[in-house]
Chains A and B, each alone.
Chain A
Amino acid sequence: MTTWQFLRALMRYRPWLYLANGFFWTLVHLAPLLPGLLAKWFFDTISGAAPVGINPWSLIGLLAAVTLGRIGILWLGSETDAYHRFTMSALLRRNLFEQILRQPGARALPEAPGAALSTFRDDAEQVEDTISWTLDQVGTGLFAIVAFAILLATSARLTLAVFVPLVGVVALMRFAAARIERYRRASRGATSRVTGLLAEVFGATAAIQVAGSECHVIARLRGLNDERRRTTVRDRTLTQVLDSINANIVSLGTGLILLLAAGSMRTGSFTVGDFTLFVYYLNFVTDFTYGAGQFLAYFQQSGVAFTRMVGLLGGAAPATLVAHAPLHLRGDPPAVPPPPAAVEPLRSFAVRDLTYTHAPSGRGIAGVSFVVRRGELIVITGRIGAGKTTLLRAILGLLPATAGEIRWNERVIADPASEMVPPRTAYVPQVPRLFSDSLRENVLLGLPESETDLPAAIDVAALTPDLATLPLGLDTVVGTRGVRLSGGQIQRVAAARMLVRQAELLVVDDLSSALDGATERLLWDRLLAQPGTTCLAVSHRRAVLRRADRIIVLREGRVAASGTLDHLLTTSDDLRALWYGTDPDADGTAAETAAIIEEE
């Protein structure tokens, strides 16, 4: 889609508001026509060039009246513009966010969150400005036409002679516009690298402080800052110098008028009043070209902005960026989303030949197949990098599988990303993220409290004693990434988040990594206590492997072995290596290690 197509789609969002806004601002821009004419008549009257009968004092009074009118229109225009602008950037941000929410959860953004945030903030604002300024262009354009007509009627020769340089400048602008886009892109790129680093730095302050490497990090920031300064100064200087040429054209135009009007002014065919009118209107007509040049630059820049925003859509059609949707800015808030529909109870869950490859690194999973039956605990295990997390993500649609299928009770799940969600499945990721909200919010995440048993979920997740130590209990606000909570507490909150959804299939990625043995035992006891609880878990902990109905061992993305623990301990090298903590590719110190464990 071209930039114009994007902008038109946005303008059609609130067409009446946009038109009203345009109406007011056109009046605002047309208003200066009157003072110009009043000035001409004033000079003509006092110099005697005008017909008698006009009292100069009444001209001055008219000037006052016109001013009052302008104030009123300006206020009305501001109300409409403020609202319209806000809806423009809000719509873009809303659509962007919606599309990102539609991407597979573990691959939602093509770049770091910090850089994406800069797109949300600055690129949307860029477009907001551009759209608002199209109205200014219309207004100043109309003014230029009417002024031009009036000037032509006064002296055609002079009017044409003065406008030639103006046309020349506009041509210069078009030529420069192409170069501006390239610099703008470089400048935006450098900016997002700076904000990206800042976001990382402030997500890692403890690590940086402990390592004492503040000065190195700042040195890196300075380096990125310099790059940004270089590209941005280049971009903005070019833009501003072109602007100033436009602004100064009035003086050059005035000089031209003096040169060409010398003769007629002597003879009196070109009066002082005419001269005043010409210079006055010239000011505003060049404002139009000045604005047009600037608008052209902005137009190019908004093209860059659109490209960056489309980049976040993750393959969706560019038109979705500007799709019309209600914003609910005024009036009643939208309805809270309804709870999800009930699903078919699980009898069996089958994965067949599931494959996913992470394009740059070539890693992933290939041809993974297994079956989970109701009430079973299936544990997936393997070395780091074997693909365990990738497998869970592919099953849940958080990564888009490149081959294979998933079946729920023999029915193929066509779109795991939207179907493998509560109440069908619920998930605890390996690194859960908590939000800056109350604990209650973090656990419920929008689930109505009346629709579920929150205390029971808290209890099963072994969180109840921790809540007792928090002053506000469930209403305690947790900081970003749950910094106020310990690692184990964060995992258990994530577990509660999963449990409160009362899903048919629980999917767990390494729940015990931050828990001590007793808490882990307790949690799994309670988790598996309810009959019919079906669970697919990744773990290396012996306690969990012991409870499994079946274990699936992954090696380099493929299923290396599967079966019960006893079976695998006798037949699978891989599992034995994991169980006894040795490298299967090294020679055996297994016996020695096992002996030491037994001894203790």
Chain B
Amino acid sequence: MAIPLRDYWRLLVAYLRPQRGRVGLLALSIFASIGLQLLLPQLLRRFIDDATGGAATGALSRIAVWFIIVALLNQICIACAKYLGELIGWTATNELRADLTAHCLGLDQSFHKERSPGEMVERIDGDVNLLATFFSQFAIDLLGNMVLIAGTLILLFREDLRIGLALTVFALLGLALLLWIRGIAVPYQLVWREESARFFGFLGERLSGMEDIRAAGAVGYTQWRFTAHLRSWWPTARLSYLASVSAWIVTLTTFAIGNIVAFAIGLVLYRAGAITIGTVYLVFSYTELLRRPMERIRTQLQDLQKAGAGIVRTQELFARQTRLPDEGTVTLPPGALSAEFAGVTFRYDDDEPVLRALDFCVAAGQTVALLGRTGSGKTTIARLLARLYDPMAGVVRLGGVPVRDVALGDLRGRVGVVTQDVQLFGGTVRENLTFFDPAVPEERLWSTLDTLGLAGWVRGLPDGLDTELASDGGGLSAGEAQLLAFARVFLRDPGLVILDEASSRLDPATEALLDRAIATVLRDRTGVIIAHRLDTVRRADLILILDAGERVEFGERVALAADPASRYSRLLRTDTAGEEVLA
């Protein structure tokens, strides 16, 4: 499988262009170094011929001193090149990491639920790491090595046509062999990397699920699975290694042939009296000089092979498009938003439809409670309103505007969702509240917390807003995490608020705290509440009851409660404690 050079080139240009200056400086350092390296064997030849010819020691010493000076200058150029190379490489790959992450964050949920976080880290960090040397060294270093080889051959031609010819043939054949070997290792590398991603995906999930594993007595089993993953990983690692070594072997053979050719032609021409012994040494020396760039080309090609695998996987990610087109241009009206479903049908992948031709409409400022068994489609409605997915049929409208026509960025700012599963980050409470947005004024944070009645709780934390949270929500109980999630959503002043089974993990006393806050906030906004308890349902204006994705009842709460034939009133009758719920 050959990696198209076009893809290499495109990536190079995209990520090196912003660093033009540094790249230019790097090129300068490398080409200066090349010139100096080509000079050295010439000095050697001069020395040998002069020495065997009986020149004065003083003259010979002068040549030796020049030799040392040139070698030192070369060292300086190389040091500059190393530093610039690393800098360029890391800057470029950091950009790539950020771009890749941004691109993936722009993909819809159908992409994300197929991949574990561990796997994504492996792709974004692991695969991109392979490209670090690609950026810094490939462009300049590889080209520089080619120039070094060309320069050497030109100088050999200058000595004698036959020498030049023989070694040019050798160099071309050698390079051809190395290029041939380039494509061979890539598929093995790819397979190995995939297996690695699978291994670390498994590991990542288990590291996050230690509690479940231990309490289920599944420690032995998990270790057994670990071994199983190692067993399937090993063969791919072996083949990948052997494929890389094949390249080395080819290089080794090539140089041996080069030396043989140099010796042979040198012998023939010397015996014929056409060249001096100094020139025989020169030929030998330049052939040795060819060794390093060809070897560097070999390792650079190896890096390229690995990078090739990384590039393929990276391009795969970039090629993946979101299934949620953001072509809308309309902005939503300010204030509370009305919400409407018109004939909406939806399914996840090829499963059974979760919603079937659903119709309902909630006026601005009203609150609707969604009731129904788990799995009846309530969470799906929330996801469609927040436009995490698009329906297969029908239209979802907010403020009278179909959501597809609304600019996605605008929609995100106007719809707030509080879910049961709170996702926190390693960082301060402030950073978790603002999602790392540094522009949120302090007063706004505190006034939101005050409105919700949560200011006291935050002040009670060890460092208040600056309290550091461990990653994955460590340091907060599940209920406290829920409080944070509420505050996080209300900070952004949405026109439509969706509370998805939000209150269920809290104890009733704390729930009361939140209830008051919710009531305040819902006053001037549209609300969609997904709850299991009739208590929560109390504050709704409208009721929508779902069963297997179909609407079985919809209307004003008070009216439905008064009508003895309605499902809602039947629910109320069977449960007087205000706690159980559902059709």
Contact = CB atoms under 8 A, between A and B. Distances in A.
Contact of A117 (B54, B118, B241, B373): B118
A286 to B, nearest CB: 13
Nearest to A63: B260
A11 to B, nearest CB: 20
A584 B470 contact: no
A545 B387 CA distance: 39
A530 interface: no
Contacts of A376: none
Contacts of B470: 112
Interface stretch (B2-10, B244-252, B299-307, B391-399): B244-252
B443 interface: no
Contacts of A97: 203, 206, 223, 226
Interface stretch (B75-83, B158-166, B168-176, B444-452): B75-83
Contacts of B373: 516, 518-519
Contact of A421 (B214, B281, B508, B580): B214
A203 interface: yes
B515 to A, nearest CB: 8
A573 B399 CA distance: 47
Interface stretch (B12-20, B144-152, B262-270, B358-366): B262-270
Given A515-B374, A517-B581, A398 B538 contact: no
A255 B121 contact: no
B186 interface: no
Interface stretch (A133-141, A149-157, A191-199, A367-375): A191-199
A218 B241 contact: no
A109 B224 CA distance: 21
B75 A466 contact: no
B102 A214 contact: yes
Chain B interface bracket (under 10, 10 to 19, 20 to 34, 35 or more): 35 or more
B513 A583 contact: yes
B523 interface: no
Contacts of A2: none
B413 A100 contact: no
A436 interface: yes
Nearest to B505: A513
A579 B509 CA distance: 8
B493 to A, nearest CB: 12
Contacts of B492: 211
A329 B234 CA distance: 7
Contact of B253 (A59, A67, A93, A252): A67
A280 to B, nearest CB: 8
Contacts of A582: 509, 512
Interface string B192-234: 0000000011111111111111111111111111111011001
23 contacts: A43-B277, A59-B263, A63-B259, A103-B210, A108-B207, A200-B423, A200-B426, A201-B425, A203-B423, A214-B102, A216-B437, A233-B83, A233-B86, A258-B64, A327-B230, A329-B231, A333-B231, A383-B507, A435-B209, A480-B117, A517-B575, A517-B579, A518-B580
Given A82-B241, A117-B200, A211 B435 contact: yes
Contacts of B231: 328-329, 333
Contacts of B348: 484
Interface string A579-600: 1111110000000000011101
Given A97-B226, A583-B513, 4 more contacts: A112-B472, A200-B423, A360-B475, A520-B580
B565 interface: no
Contact of B105 (A199, A218, A480): A218
A438 to B, nearest CB: 13
B582 A541 contact: no
A196 B112 contact: no
B436 A219 contact: yes
B101 A201 contact: yes
Given A333-B231, A540-B508, A266 B116 contact: no
Nearest to A47: B277
Interface string A79-115: 1011101100010011001101101111011011111
A228 to B, nearest CB: 7
B60 A258 contact: yes
A254 B82 CA distance: 23
Nearest to B112: A205
Contacts of A244: 75, 78-79, 82
Which residue, of B200, B204, B420, has the highest number of chain A Cβ atoms within 10 A? B204
A215 B54 CA distance: 75
Nearest to B218: A445
Interface string B97-128: 11001101110010011111110111011100
B158 to A, nearest CB: 22
Nearest to B489: A211
A252 B106 CA distance: 55
B413 A212 contact: yes
A347 interface: no
Interface residues of A: mostly helix, strand, loop or mixed? helix
B65 interface: yes
Nearest to A81: B241
Given A205-B112, A237-B83, A487-B501, A422 B277 contact: no
B374 A489 contact: yes
B415 interface: yes
Contact of B580 (A39, A255, A521): A521
A404 interface: no
A427 interface: yes
B454 to A, nearest CB: 12
A581 B512 contact: yes
A510 B505 contact: yes
A195 B97 CA distance: 11
B436 A46 contact: no
Interface string B61-96: 101110110111011001100110011001100100
B351 A381 contact: no
Interface-centre pick from B44, B116, B260 (highest chain A CB count, 10 A): B116
Interface in B455-482: 462, 470-472, 475, 477-480
A358 to B, nearest CB: 9
B520 interface: no
Given A60-B263, A236-B86, A486-B375, A105 B226 contact: no
Contacts of A74: 245, 248-249, 252
A542 B579 contact: yes
A578 B109 contact: no
A70 interface: yes
A272 B205 contact: no
A318 interface: no
A497 B109 contact: no
Interface in B569-583: 572, 575-583
A209 B413 CA distance: 10
Interface string A455-486: 00000000000100111000000011101101
B154 interface: no
Given A479-B114, A520-B580, A262 B87 contact: no
Contacts of A63: 256, 259-260, 263
A275 B278 CA distance: 12
Contact of B561 (A106, A115, A381, A600): A600
A93 B244 CA distance: 24
Contacts of A66: 256
B218 A446 contact: yes
A252 B238 contact: no
Contact of B419 (A205, A207, A266, A479): A207
A82 B436 contact: no
A240 B86 contact: yes
A572 interface: no
A60 B117 contact: no
A210 B113 contact: no
A63 B257 CA distance: 9
Interface stretch (A171-179, A294-302, A334-342): A334-342
A42 B513 contact: no
Contacts of A209: 105, 109, 388, 412
Nearest to B380: A486
B280 interface: yes
